[in-house]
Amino acid sequence: EVQLLESGGDLVQPGGSLRLSCATSGLTFSIYAMSWVRQAPGKGLEWVASIGGGDTYYAESVKGRFTISRDDSKGTSYLQLNSLRTEDTALYFCAKDQVAGNGRYDAFDIWGQGTMVTVSS
Q: How far is the CB of 12 from other proteins (least distance, A)?
A: 22
Distance (Å, whole) CA 92 – CA 12: 14
Q: Give whichever of 16 and 57 is closer to other proteins, judged by the CB atom.
A: 57
- Among left, alpha and beta (phi > 0; psi -120 to 50; other), residue 73 is alpha
Residues 41, 54, 73, 107: which binds other proteins (CB under 8 A)?
107
Q: Give whichever of 57 and 89 is closer to other proteins, judged by the CB atom.
A: 57
HSE-up of residue 119 (Cα within 13 Å, Cβ side): 18
| E-state strands within 8-89 | 11-12, 18-25, 34-39, 45-52, 55-58, 66-71, 76-81
Residues 16, 105, 116, 118: which binds other proteins (CB under 8 A)?
105
> Which string of DSSP letters, residue by residue, matches 57-78?
EE-TTTTTTEEEEEETTTTEEE
DSSP state of 31: G
Give yes or no for residue 115 binding other proteins (CB under 8 A).
no
What string marks each residue from 37 to 76 as x (binds other proteins by CB under 8 A) or -? x------xxxx--x----x-x-------------------
Q: Give whichever of 16 and 61 is closer to other proteins, judged by the CB atom.
A: 61
Q: Binding residues for other proteins, per CB under 8 A?
A: 35, 37, 44-47, 50, 55, 57, 93, 98, 103-109, 111-114
